Amino acid sequence: MTTALAVVVVGCGLLASSTALAAEKTITLAVKNMYCAACPHTVKAGLEAVPGVVKAVVSYKDQTAIVTYDDTKTDAKALTTATTNAGYPSAPKG
């Protein structure tokens, strides 16, 4: 019962994300340990593997990751954990 309900809710969320953008948030993370132009790809892949992440734009020049995510599915903590697990500790910027 509970499981079936959860599936319905997730289904609605997926549908909504392609049309309405109500629950989307954008956060800028300051990312450490990016020492070459290939590093941002690793950070980006790590972030985009987090359920709820819509888009991740990682800048080697700025040492940042700008992440668009669904705040009903993930949060800043999960995002910084994901980059840290990929070898690039990060923290919300600003």
Residue ranges binding Cu ion (CB under 5 A): 36, 38-39
Q: How far is the CB of 27 from Cu ion (least distance, A)?
A: 23
Minimum CB–partner distance for residue 40 and Cu ion (Å): 8
> Of the two residues 20 and 38, which places its CB atom closer to Cu ion in the complex?
38
Which residue lies nearer to Cu ion by CB, 1 or 38?
38
Sign of CA dihedral 17, 48, 72, 76: negative
- Which parts of the chain fold into alpha helices (H)? 2-19, 39-48, 76-85
CA distance to 13, 14, 47, 65, 89, per residue, from 80 (Å): 23, 23, 9, 10, 7
24 and 61 in contact (C-beta within 8 Å)?
Answer: no
- CB closer to Cu ion, 48 vs 75: 48
Minimal distance, residue 31 CB to Cu ion, in Å = 12
